[in-house]
Structure 1
């Protein structure tokens, strides 16, 4: 499996070939509590880096989702419309939100790796 990179807003991005998959971190999923609804964009929409691309609604709050890199939505996780709890159960796997293709890979160098993200979380405590 390829490496995850992280934003300070707790999104992750995983690059596989020329496609980038985006989701939220386990930390974010735990902070949200039970996810009850996810609103995702249409395939073909293009987003700039840090632009909101959707929302995730939990029993506690509604949170915006931000693109960790600019790109065009090539796929959305349709499974989340009937099983939003996948975000809690497997946030960095089956609970992914969108796939971007093409995407701006230059943003990846500005994102945190796992060690930096872990340090970021520890500093935030």
Structure 2
């Protein structure tokens, strides 16, 4: 599914990828729960586009405990410093050191090589959005810009 929205800088349409198989938070974090016990997290293409070229990613240590709503990763670009808010609770099992070494990987492939961390989930059911629900949030957010 692709979403088209206007950017305020150049007013050109921007095609955003919102993969159907992922779930999303309203803080622009995607979650892949295809493995029942381990969730893969990253930021959406929309978030990466809004931040611009990333220059620094501060990752948590494997073994760290996270709660839904925690600021778990700090993302720094030439435009802003933005925390990544965890939409899930659990224990960080793996971090993507490649994005720490070269944060631009997130900008180039946010849903693939640009994954940020893997969390072993608690039994709690996270409150996540479908691709369609997330697309509506982007439209609403861009309309306010």
TM-score, normalised relative to structure 1: 0.92
Name the counterpart of 1:50.
69
d(CA) in 1 for partners of 2:122 and 2:29? 16
1:118 counterpart (135, 139, 143)? 135
Give the alignment's Cα RMSD to 1 decimal. Answer: 1.5
Work out which of the two has the higher radius of gyration on C-alpha atoms and give 1 or 2: 2
Question: When you count helix as a share of all residues, which structure comes out higher?
Answer: 1
Q: Say yes or no: does 1:4 pair with 2:22.
A: yes
1:83 maps to: 102
Aligned 8 A contact 1:2 1:14 in 2 = no
> How do residues 24-63 of structure 1 correspond to structure 2 at under 5 angstroms?
24-63=43-82
Aligned residues: 123
User: Structure 1: which 5+ residue stretches go unaligned?
Assistant: none
CA contact (8 A) 2:21 2:32 kept: yes
Query: Which structure has the higher relative contact order (CA within 8 Å, separation 6+)?
Result: 1
Extract unaligned runs of 5+ from structure 2: 1-18
